[in-house]
Structure 1
Amino acid sequence: MISINALQRRYLRAQAHALHPVVMIGDAGLSEAVMREIDINLKSHELIKIRVLGDDRDARATMLTTICETLGAVNVQHIGKLLIIYRPAEKPKLALPK
């Protein structure tokens, strides 16, 4: 799993502000199909928003941890029902500040 510093996290949050959620996680939770869809979107976009439709905050936090550990991504922000995650592509589109 990669790590980012506070300056990079702030930069990524600013970049994610205008994004719309590309994946929605419903009542079924993190199925194999949902994980595959998240992986595909991370490969093409690097920075994505995910909307979780459940009301349980602890379940959302657990899903975020599972996604990041499984897919080698980093948690940028968890605010309400939105999860913002980042994983650099082989040819990065976003140039993170040092």
Structure 2
Amino acid sequence: MALTGKNIRQLRSLAHHLNPTIIIGKGDVNDGTVEQANAALEAHELIKCSVLDTSSLDVREAANELAERCGAEVVQVIGRKFSIYRETSRDDVEKIKLD
């Protein structure tokens, strides 16, 4: 699902207030990180991630790799943080209504 400019602006404003739930360190984007991100995306749809200095990936590379492995879209990359979005398949979670 490709996000429109309007969708991205809406998601960026929602992501601004989030704390990082996934932290990528020297292990880079491994299976455990992908598993955690998938669980967080199913529960929240929009998550913020942080990349530590010890990671061999730069922030954009980490964001793209994690989003690709999770089937998500990169919403924003700022400094050492990025946010990704994927619509949840769960019915018990309040979904983000995109304009």
Q: Fold conserved (TM > 0.5)? A: yes
Q: Residues of 1 paired with 2:65 and 2:52: CA distance?
A: 17
Over the aligned positions, Cα root-mean-square deviation in angstroms equals 1.8
Q: Which runs of 5+ in 2 are unaligned?
A: none
Alignment of 1:1-98 (within 5 A): 2-54=1-53, 59-90=58-89, 91=91, 93-97=95-99
> How many residues are treated as equivalent by the alignment?
96
- Cα separation, partners in 2 of 1:79 and 1:15, compared to 1, 3 Å: same
Name the TM-score, length of structure 2 as normaliser.
0.87
- Cα separation, partners in 2 of 1:95 and 1:57, compared to 1, 3 Å: farther
Q: Residues of 1 paired with 2:49 and 2:55: CA distance?
A: 15
Of structures 1 and 2, the one scoring higher in RCO (CA 8 A, sep 6+) is: 1
Name the TM-score, length of structure 1 as normaliser.
0.88
Q: Residues of 1 paired with 2:55 and 2:27: CA distance?
A: 13
Q: Which runs of 5+ in 1 are unaligned?
A: none
Identity %: 30
